């Protein structure tokens, strides 16, 4: 069956084996925070703040670093291809000690580095500028309070240094992504003042030049949040200008724009002015609700644009959702595999023939080929990819998840 499908695609000029090679070499960065509902391991009550919310209380949440790593092991065992770990600073291995965020050091993340080494995975990193007393006023890097601003500057600087150590030890550049929740519930008077302070703070954070082979700086925008409905300091326009002028990577989060706005159309424009792109693949429903990624039109459009722009070498693909209403390992598996299936479908497009038709003005042939590609048996190739990577196919996935739930997660309740 697989050989027959390969021949079908070959008739359209598509090399299936080349597509599978691209799949195998394109990692998805797995976000650790799906496993424990964005709690982290700093101690305290673990209450999520700064306009973020996780809904649901499905049994079996990871409560310790060991449990989170156990769950990540299980999730990775269900995913074909290569992957990375995406870690927030609040997930450090602090050994029961109280370490404030401006004092974090590489040693607090060494056990995570060792875990990634044992799995042959790269790792990405994020300063955690939320769920902290010094973020309760709604402002961090743009705060009018110089002391608050300084605290978060030091946290972000420390995070970059940790990212560089991660990249050096793992032999793969760490993407260190800065997102802050700063904003206002109602209309501000001095938007410019807040944005000037944010720009000045970021310039201090990025002042020390780090080896891009070890650390890649990225900045991330947002349209609005709970408690910042009227004004977000780090808007898309702000960060697009900042990333273009400072030549950092730009993060586009699929849930950080207007509910009816997709990010696929932005990719080609952004790639013209920034060196690299970071994607947070998510699914917002009415707001930035970070639902599990699906094999849906918006995600397919994102992956199509990456492939059509030949942008995979310049793009870092990560996930960003946290659903506590369903089995958390299932959330990782369903969301990651959905993103991968969208990527595979994009790689199987007859791109050369489509481009030829478009340049010739033959839009009839272009439309016909796009529709024909949707109907081809691409799922046979997906199953082959799973088989080659020794992970469950679609029909066996739920059984594997249920088995882990019975033997591991149930004991945590």
- Domain presence at residue 360: no
Say if 19 falls within a structural domain.
no
Whole domain around residue 302: which residue ranges? 27-328
Task: Report if residue 82 sits inside a domain.
Answer: yes
- Regarding pTM above 0.85, the answer is yes
Among 244, 246, 233, 237, smallest CA distance to 203 is for 246
Is the residue at 334 inside a domain?
A: no
Counting other chains too, the contacts that 139-143 makes at CB distance below 8 Å and 24 or more residues apart are 139/182, 139/194, 139/233, 140/180, 140/181, 140/182, 141/180, 141/182, 141/197, 141/198, 141/201, 141/202, 141/205, 142/180, 142/182, 142/194, 142/195, 142/197, 142/198, 142/201, 142/233, 142/234, 143/182, 143/197
Contact (CB, 8 A) for 293 and 339: yes
Which residue has tokens 């990540």? 72
Listing DSSP states for 266-286 in one string gives HHHHHHTTSS-EEEEE-B-SS
Question: How close are the terminal C-alpha atoms of the chain, in Å?
Answer: 44
**Domain-located, residue 9:** no
Per-residue pLDDT, averaged over 25-42, amounts to 96
Q: Is the pLDDT of residue 46 over 70?
A: no
Q: Tokens for 394, please give them.
A: 């679609």
As a whole number, the mean pLDDT across the chain is: 96
Q: Give the separation between CA 36 and CA 329, rounded to whole angstroms.
A: 11
Please name the helix (run of DSSP H) or strand (run of DSSP E) that holds residue 84, with its range, or none: strand 83-88
Residue 39 pLDDT more than 90? Answer: yes
Please report the pLDDT score of residue 53 as a whole number: 80
Structural domain includes residue 388: no
Residue numbers annotated as active site = 179, 220, 222, 253, 256, 280, 288, 290, 320
pLDDT band at 44 (very low <50, low <70, confident <90, very high): low
Tens digits of per-residue pLDDT, 295-344?
A: 999 999 999 999 999 999 999 999 999 999 999 999 999 999 999 999 99
Helix (H, G, I), strand (E, B) or coil at 326: coil
The two structure tokens encoding residue 71: 């769950």
Count up the domains in the chain and report the number: 1
CA proximity to 91, closest of 73, 110, 78, 75? 110
pLDDT at 45: 59
How confident is the model over 170-216, as pLDDT tens digits? 999 999 999 999 999 999 999 999 999 999 999 999 999 999 999 99
Q: Is residue 365 part of a domain?
A: no
- Say if residue 250 is exposed, middle or buried (CB neighbours under 10 Å; 0-12, 13-18, 19+): buried
Per-residue confidence at 85, pLDDT binned at 50, 70, 90? very high
pLDDT tens sequence across 233-269: 999 999 999 999 999 999 999 999 998 899 999 999 9
Helix axis angle for 146-170 and 110-119, nearest 10°, is 30
Beta-bridge partners for 279:
252, 317
Residue 47 clears pLDDT 80, i.e. is over it:
no
Gap between the Cα atoms of 62 and 40, Å rounded: 10
| Domain at 91, CATH number | 3.20.20.150
């Amino acid at each position: 069956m697989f050989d027959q499908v390969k021949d079908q695609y070959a008739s359209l000029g598509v090399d299936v084996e080349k597509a599978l090679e691209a799949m195998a070499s394109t990692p998805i960065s797995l976000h650790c925070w799906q496993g424990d509902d964005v709690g982290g391991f700093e101690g305290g009550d673990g209450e999520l703040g700064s306009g973020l919310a996780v809904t649901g209380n499905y049994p079996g949440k990871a409560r310790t670093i060991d449990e989170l790593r156990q769950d990540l092991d299980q999730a990775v065992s269900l995913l074909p291809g290569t992957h990375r770990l995406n870690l927030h600073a609040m997930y450090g291995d602090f050994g029961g000690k109280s370490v404030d965020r401006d004092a974090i050091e590489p040693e607090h993340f060494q056990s995570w580095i060792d875990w990634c080494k044992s799995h042959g995975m790269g790792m990405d990193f994020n300063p955690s500028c939320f769920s902290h007393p010094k973020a309760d006023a709604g402002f961090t890097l743009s705060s009018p309070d110089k002391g608050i601003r300084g605290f978060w500057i030091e946290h972000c600087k420390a995070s970059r240094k940790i990212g560089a150590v991660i990249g050096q030890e793992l032999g793969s550049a760490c993407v260190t992504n800065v997102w802050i929740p700063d904003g206002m519930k109602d209309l501000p008077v001095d938007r410019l003042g807040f944005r000037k302070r944010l720009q000045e703070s970021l310039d201090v954070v990025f002042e020390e030049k780090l080896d891009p082979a070890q650390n890649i700086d990225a900045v991330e925008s947002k349209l609005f949040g709970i408690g910042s409905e009227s004004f977000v300091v780090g808007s898309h326009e702000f960060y697009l200008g900042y990333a273009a002028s400072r030549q950092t990577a730009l993060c586009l989060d699929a849930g950080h724009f207007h509910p009816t706005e997709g990010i696929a159309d932005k990719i080609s424009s952004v790639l013209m002015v920034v060196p690299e792109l970071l994607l947070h693949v998510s699914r917002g429903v009415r707001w930035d609700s970070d639902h599990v990624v699906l094999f849906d039109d918006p995600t397919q459009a994102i992956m199509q644009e990456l492939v059509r722009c030949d942008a995979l070498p310049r793009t870092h693909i990560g996930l960003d959702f946290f659903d506590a209403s369903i089995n958390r390992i299932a959330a990782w598996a369903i969301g990651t595999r959905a993103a991968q299936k969208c990527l595979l479908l994009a790689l199987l497009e007859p791109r050369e023939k489509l481009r030829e038709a478009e340049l010739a003005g033959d839009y009839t042939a272009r439309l016909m080929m796009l529709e024909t590609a949707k109907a081809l048996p691409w799922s046979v190739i997906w199953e082959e990819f799973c088989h080659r990577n020794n992970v469950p196919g679609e029909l066996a996935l739920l059984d594997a998840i249920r088995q882990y739930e019975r033997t591991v997660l149930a004991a945590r309740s």
